[in-house]
């Protein structure tokens, strides 16, 4: 399904791109103010740092404490690689490998991944509901919905309110297979929605800053188009929303921003997806080499000590040794 949707989106995008002249595309690339480009890059870097809060909230839900440096490493690798390669291909395996090594059980990891998804979608419902209710966007005639985007905004807000009520009044666990997941507290749910909303606002602001310099487009329109593109990309499960995100942003913004908007979308793709992917790959390889070297050094010391003393002695200092059990005082 993902491959079919990806091929379909690329085909439509190529057809639409054929309507843009070389001069219009180059104008979109060169008309972005370098200062705005630098600010957009800074905001994206800040955004990837903020993504650590997703894992912090999920670890709090499963009552597991880990050093912040470890959480930041896994969160960055999970999102830097997962945003471009997909959740099933990169984000989930990376989190499972590291968190299981650091003492989380299989069920805790599944619960953690569930909370990560719940955090994101709660932010989408809150922010998308507010934006589409206050500043609805007009869809092209070829992509009309049975109802208006303002109605969609009210639906999203209703889902947010229902989720808040569940977290407030429902305290029994829900059986999902062998798991029994309890709804988070209303305090944790509020923080979840706030973190995800700020995350989406920052990334949408970065997209807004790389719009063509002569374009006059309201920020709420860019934000609404970005939310629609991100949600559609996740639903289709196309890795990184490649082709899908570009097609939706082009379709929703070309009448307001103009045809050079395609160049702006590609700039955003490089800043938000490709550069973090490359840096994440380098970070992952460097960490694995360093961890392997430390483990080899500890094994050599253990072997030397065993030969000298005649019996094995437990060594400490393994960078990936599980932390002691965390006791939730509450």
pLDDT of residue 180: 74
pLDDT of residue 89: 82
Could you give the dihedral angle defined by the CA atoms of residues 232, 233, 234 and 237, in that order, rounded to the nearest 10 degrees?
120
pLDDT of residue 264: 85
pLDDT of residue 25: 67
Mean pLDDT by 10 residues, the chain (330 residues): 66 67 69 88 94 93 90 92 84 91 89 91 92 80 66 89 90 75 88 94 93 81 88 77 80 78 86 91 89 80 72 50 44
pLDDT of residue 13: 65
Please state the pTM of the whole predicted model.
0.82
3-state helix/strand/coil string of the chain: CHHHHHHHHHHHHHHHHCCCCHHHHHHHHHCCCHHHHHHHHHHHHHHHHHCHHHHHHHHHHCCCCCCHHHHHHHHHHHHHHHHHHCHHHHHHHHHHHHHHHCCCCHHHHHHHHHHHHHHHHHHHHHHHHHHHHHCCCCCCHHHCCCCCHHHHHHHHHHHHHHHHHHHHHCCCCEEECCEEECCCCHHHHHHHHHHHHHHHHHHHHHHHHCCCCCCCCCHHHHHHHHHHHHHHHHHHCCHHHCCHHHHHHHHHHHHHHCCCHHHHHHHHHHHHHHHHHHHHHHHHHHHHHHHHHHHHHHHHHHHHHHHHHCCCCCCCCCCCCCCCCCCCCC
pLDDT of residue 325: 44
pLDDT of residue 146: 64
């Amino acid at each position: 399904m993902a491959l079919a949707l990806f091929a379909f989106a690329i085909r439509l995008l190529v057809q639409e791109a054929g309507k843009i002249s070389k001069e219009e595309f180059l104008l979109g690339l060169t008309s972005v103010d370098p200062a705005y480009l630098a600010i957009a890059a800074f905001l994206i870097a800040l955004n990837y740092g903020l993504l650590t809060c997703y894992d912090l909230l999920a670890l709090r839900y499963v009552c597991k404490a880990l050093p912040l440096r470890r959480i930041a490493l896994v969160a960055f690798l999970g999102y830097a690689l997962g945003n471009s390669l997909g959740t099933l291909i990169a984000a989930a395996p990376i989190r499972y490998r590291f968190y299981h090594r650091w003492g989380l059980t299989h069920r805790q990891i599944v619960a953690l991944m569930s909370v990560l998804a719940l955090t994101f979608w709660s932010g989408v419902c809150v922010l998308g509901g507010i934006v589409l209710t206050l500043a609805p966007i007009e869809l092209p005639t070829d992509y009309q919905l049975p109802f208006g985007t303002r109605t969609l905004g009210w639906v999203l807000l209703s889902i947010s309110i229902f989720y808040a009520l569940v977290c407030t009044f429902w305290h029994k666990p829900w059986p999902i297979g062998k798991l029994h997941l309890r709804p988070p507290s209303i305090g944790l749910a509020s923080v979840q929605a706030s973190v995800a909303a700020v995350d989406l606002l920052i990334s949408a602001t970065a997209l807004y800053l790389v719009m063509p310099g002569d374009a006059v487009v309201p920020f709420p329109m860019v934000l609404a188009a970005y939310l629609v593109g991100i949600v559609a990309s996740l639903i289709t499960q196309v890795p990184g929303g490649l082709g899908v995100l570009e097609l939706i942003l082009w379709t929703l913004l070309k009448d307001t921003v103009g045809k050079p908007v395609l160049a702006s979308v590609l700039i955003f793709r490089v800043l938000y997806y490709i550069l973090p992917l490359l840096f994440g790959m380098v970070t992952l390889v460097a960490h694995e080499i360093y961890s392997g070297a430390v483990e080899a050094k500890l094994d050599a010391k253990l072997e030397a000590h065993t030969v000298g003393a005649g019996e094995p002695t437990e060594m400490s200092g393994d960078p990936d040794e599980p932390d002691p059990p965390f006791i939730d005082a509450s």
